[in-house]
Amino acid sequence: MVWGHHLLPGGPLPFCGGFSYREQGLQNPATAQSSAPGGGLMGKGYLVTGTDTGVGKTVITAALVGVWRRRGIDALAVKPVQSGAVMQDGQLIPEDAAFYRRAAGLSLPMDELNLYRFEPAVSPHLAAQLSGESIAPGRVVDFCRQALQKHHLTLVEGAGGLCVPLSGPEFTVAHLAGELSLPLLVVARPGLGSINHTVLTVAYARNAGLAVAGIIINGQKQEEAGPTEMNNPLVIEAMTGVRVLGIVPYLPAVSVEEGRTGGLLDAVEQAVAWRELL
Ligand SMILES: Nc1ncnc2c1ncn2[C@@H]1O[C@H](COP(=O)(O)OP(=O)(O)OP(=O)(O)O)[C@@H](O)[C@H]1O
Ligand SMILES: [Mg+2]
């Protein structure tokens, strides 16, 4: 059976090129185990994905964790696999985790926030290959489980969108969410094209047996807020049945690359229904 055609009308989809998990001897995220092998208690968590790369997953992840921590909640963000890491003084810096530390005031060492880091700014499976390394799915899952076990609320940031291969087609971001039994938070763009990207992301998630807890629209420029931007959240909610938890404005003082966090926590605290995720 090809993974993922049961929830859409009209029979089997040519989904992922007809890729069959069972035929490949691989595990379907829909049937992944939820409990840790050691049986440890897991805290609450979400996997933060996006409709694309660069939609603002890191900004939203860091801000939510920062807002929760302000309220005294033991929240953490991890980025298990980072490509496009930056070389500084002979050391590879995983930029997303560095931003979490700065924006959310995390003091944990970088190695507890990020497991694999690669310099090439390409899909993780390729970045690893180009770096002469490989990603072990089991290590990625264990790394995230440890964070989930140690903290009350953990956000796991994927890479790019749901279909992005971490080690290869057998272990994508969707597989990671399935292995961890984490519901998704989907970060989406505000403008034209976003209905399609967001609805497709939610449909793919459901086909993979993943729950979607909410959608956050990020980067709304007030001067560009026209009929599309006003109408998108309504249509996205109607077509997915998932709540849009907030629309975060474009914040000129914020930059992941430059480590600038100006006004981010206040803006997200105001714009996003963060209490609903507790
Ligand atoms: N609300 C915002 N206001 C201003 N700039 C933003 C906002 N959200 C994101 N950005 C900027 O957009 C760029 C992409 O954001 P971010 O790194 O969070 O995306 P991402 O989805 O995590 O990307 P990746 O797939 O590489 O992990 C960064 O330069 C970030 O500073
Ligand atoms: Mg990111």
Integer Cα distance of 133 and 147 in angstroms: 24
* Catalytic pick among 44, 79, 150, 221: 79
pLDDT band of 41, cuts 50, 70, 90: confident
Supply the mean pLDDT for the chain. Answer: 88
Q: How many CB atoms lie within 10 A of CB 205?
A: 24
Crossing angle of helices 173-180 and 137-150, in 10° steps, is 50
Mean pLDDT of 110-129: 98
Ligand nearest to the CA of 160: 1
Q: Is 96 annotated as a binding residue?
A: yes
Reply yes or no on whether the pLDDT at 34 is more than 50.
Answer: no
Give residue limits of the domains in the chain. Answer: 47-277
Q: Is 160 annotated as a binding residue?
A: yes
pLDDT band of 42, cuts 50, 70, 90: confident
Ligand nearest to the CA of 257: 1
Judging by DSSP bridges, how do beta strands 91-93 and 86-88 pair with one another? antiparallel
Query: What's the pTM value of the predicted model, to 2 decimals?
Result: 0.88
Reply yes or no on whether the pLDDT at 10 is more than 70.
Answer: no
DSSP 272: B
Mean pLDDT of 154-177: 98
Q: How many CB atoms lie within 10 A of CB 155?
A: 27
Mean pLDDT of 47-71: 98
Residues with CB under 6 A from ligand 1: 50, 53-59, 96, 159-160, 218-219, 248, 250-251, 254-257
**Ligand 1 atom at minimal distance to the Cα of residue 160:** 25
Looking at residue 1, what is its pLDDT?
26
Looking at residue 40, what is its pLDDT?
60
Say whether 221 is catalytic: no
Integer Cα distance of 260 and 253 in angstroms: 6
Which mutation among 52, 254, 261 tests ligand 1's pocket best, with the greatest number of atoms within 8 A of CB?
254
CATH number for the domain running over 47-277: 3.40.50.300
